[in-house]
Amino acid sequence: MARLRSSRITLLLCAAGALLLVGAIFAVPLSGQEPSPTTPAVQAITPAEQVLPPPIPDGSASAEQLEVQGDELRAQKRYLDSIDYYNAALVKKPTSLLWNKKGMSYLFIQRRDQAAKCFDKAIKLDKQAPEGYNNRGYVEQMKKNYDKAIKYYGKAIKLRPTDAVFYFNTGSSYFGKHEYPEAANFYRQAFAIDPEIFNRASRTGVMAQSTSPADRAVFSFMVAKMYAQAGDVDHCLEYLRKAMEDGYKDINKVYTDREFATLRTDKRFEELMAQRPQAIP
């Protein structure tokens, strides 16, 4: 099988020198059936890895074996190599899941158009699988085509209304449009299904992809309000601090918004507001 040699080393060298940020504001892609655990920075790649990708086995390898190897290479951030293996697996057994995985590899090297084609094929093979619609919406969100993204996310929600990621991504597209009430509505639905979704996004660095500190500040205050309403003081204070560090201008709403009523009696809240963390440039 052809090895996708052209431009491989150039792409890897470029990726090794900078962060590869995948996604627009706060979106969480899916790969197959599960949320992507990270939006990684591409690590330095050794010359041996650049020049000597693992050879694809002979024709005796099953589609499942090829897929597993592709998954391992993708976990190692060797996205072009993983695509080779997914291509080999697709020849033997074209499935919606494999097209989704191949599309994810393209996303991580910012080949959005090729990723979109993969997700389109995933949808064509299985119109009842919501992952393809979510991932396709994710590509549009990366391009800041928020209305298109929202339509794709809506189809994913219709097929699986219990998945927090779909609501989270829809909220993120509305956030990208600066339509904050709509964004908050979908974020609340995501939070109701999975109260950890904001923490998971924070741990993987997804929140750092906002277009500006002002956007991050609004987002952090929005999340703080959700945690306050849920009675999670620790996380509420964490996000209030983030909002102030990003220069949230309406921080005094904590004294008037009803969601913070209980929080206002907490000594830790008093201490945080007395400190008033300064905005970080």
Q: Is 71 part of any domain?
A: yes
Residue 134 lies in a domain: yes
- Separate counts of helices (H) and strands (E) for the chain: 14, 2
The answer to the question of residue 196 being in a domain is no
pLDDT at 192 over 70: yes
Rg (C-alpha) for the chain, rounded Å, is: 21
Q: Would residue 200 count as lying in a domain?
A: no
Least reliable range by pLDDT among 30-39, 172-181, 268-277? 30-39
pLDDT in tens, 60-95: 789 999 999 999 999 999 999 999 999 999 999 999
Residue 70 pLDDT:
94
CATH number of 57's domain: 1.25.40.10
Beta carbons of 223 and 238 less than 8 angstroms apart: no
pLDDT of 31: 53
How far apart, in Å, are the Cα atoms of 255 and each of 80, 111, 174, 251, 273? 52, 46, 27, 9, 10
Average of per-residue pLDDT values in the chain = 81
Taking a C-beta distance cutoff of 8 angstroms, is the pair 36, 203 a contact? Answer: no
Asked, for residue 236, whether it belongs to a domain, the answer is no
pLDDT band at 50 (very low <50, low <70, confident <90, very high): very low
Structural domain count of the chain: 1
Domain containing residue 92: 8-154
Q: How confident is the model at residue 160 (pLDDT cuts 50, 70, 90)?
A: very high
The mean pLDDT of 263-280, rounded to a whole number, is: 89
Domain assignment present for 66: yes
**pLDDT tens sequence across 234-266:** 999 999 999 999 999 999 999 999 999 999 999
Distances (CA, A) of 82 to 6, 106, 129, 227: 15, 10, 23, 39
In this predicted structure, the answer to whether residue 41 has a pLDDT above a threshold of 70 is no
**Is 259 among the domain residues?**
no
What's the CA gap between 136 and 115, in Å, rounded?
A: 8
Position 18 pLDDT exceeds 60: no
Does residue 45 have a pLDDT over 60? no
Residues with Cβ within 8 Å of residue 146, at least 6 apart in sequence = 140, 173, 174, 176, 177
Residues belonging to the chain: 281
Q: Is 276 domain-assigned?
A: no
Closest CA to 168 of 11, 3, 25: 25
Contact between residue 141 and residue 173 where contact means Cβ atoms under 8 Å apart: yes
Confidence of residue 212 (pLDDT cuts 50, 70, 90): confident
Confidence of residue 4 (pLDDT cuts 50, 70, 90): very low
What's residue 15's pLDDT? 39
Asked whether the predicted pLDDT for residue 9 surpasses 60, the reply is no
pLDDT in tens, 130-148: 999 999 999 999 999 999 9
pTM for the whole structure? 0.78
Q: Is the pLDDT of residue 12 over 70?
A: no
Residues linked to residue 35 through DSSP beta bridges, in sequence order:
30
